[in-house]
Amino acid sequence: MAPEQWRGESSGAPCDVFALGILIVEVFTGEHPFVTHEERDVGAVGGLRAQERVQSGELAPGMDLDEALVPRFAELVRECLAPDPADRPR
């Protein structure tokens, strides 16, 4: 879920761009960009950590987009995952 959705703000195209960024990371790495395997196993606690990361734009420990994707694509995905909707590609 996009940061603005966590905050209860309206959703729109920027939320879709954020979701696309998550989808791209999952397709190429098999991992969620904000949640570790261990956090998935602990349920709500892991969800709170993921929410904090989504809000700050911090990726999950061990998530290295530069290693998983070609540099320009990694840059684009980082832009898609920006916490501020205004910073995402349009």
Summarised one tens digit per residue, pLDDT across range 8-63 is 998 999 999 999 999 999 999 999 999 887 777 766 556 788 889 999 999 999 99
Whole-angstrom Cα distance, residue 18 to residue 80? 5
Q: What pTM did the predictor assign? A: 0.88
Q: Are 55 and 83 in contact (CB under 8 A)?
A: yes
The pLDDT of residue 46 is: 61
Class of residue 68 by CB neighbours under 10 A (exposed 0-12, middle 13-18, buried 19+): middle
Please give the DSSP secondary-structure letter assigned to residue 63.
-
Token pair belonging to 2? 């996009």
CA–CA distance, 22 with 35 (Å, rounded to integer):
11
